Amino acid sequence: MNIIVTIILISGLIFFAGGAIGIIRFPDFYSRLHPAGKLDTAGLATTMGALALYTASSFSTASLITALKIILIFVFVFITSPTATHAIIDAGVRSGLTPWRKEAEADK
């Protein structure tokens, strides 16, 4: 059981690392929201799954309830993270930020 939890946890950390590197490396605000919105949700899903599996592996009532709460956090984030990303994009569009283009980069 410990090996399975370790593998899922490390895969979630790889998702988080990809998200952090993508937020730094992408050229534009709109393209930066792509790793920020997707990879954080995916990393949180896999790490929460691993930690809920580790918590539920000792079969008692209290640990099962705690694992259920961890799953509840994941369900909450799975609803709210796309909503927050959409709100940020909406603020960017309404305030008139123009998307990044390759020709504009070549003109400099």
Nearer to other proteins, 21 or 101 (CB): 21
In whole angstroms, give the CA distance from residue 5 to residue 27.
35
Encode 32-60: b = buried (16+ Cβ within 10 Å), e = exposed: bbebbbbbbbbbbbbbbbbbbbbbbeeee
Site string for other proteins, 12-31 (x = CB under 8 A): xx--xx-xxx-xx----x--
Q: Is 105 in the site for other proteins (CB under 8 A)?
A: no
User: Rounded CA gap, 89 and 92, in Å?
Assistant: 5
SS3 state of residue 61: helix
Contact residues for other proteins, defined by CB under 8 A = 2, 5-6, 9-10, 12-13, 16-17, 19-21, 23-24, 29, 32-33, 36, 40-41, 43-44, 47-48, 51, 54-55, 62-63, 65-66, 69-70, 72-73, 76-77, 80-81, 83-85, 87-88, 90-92, 94-97
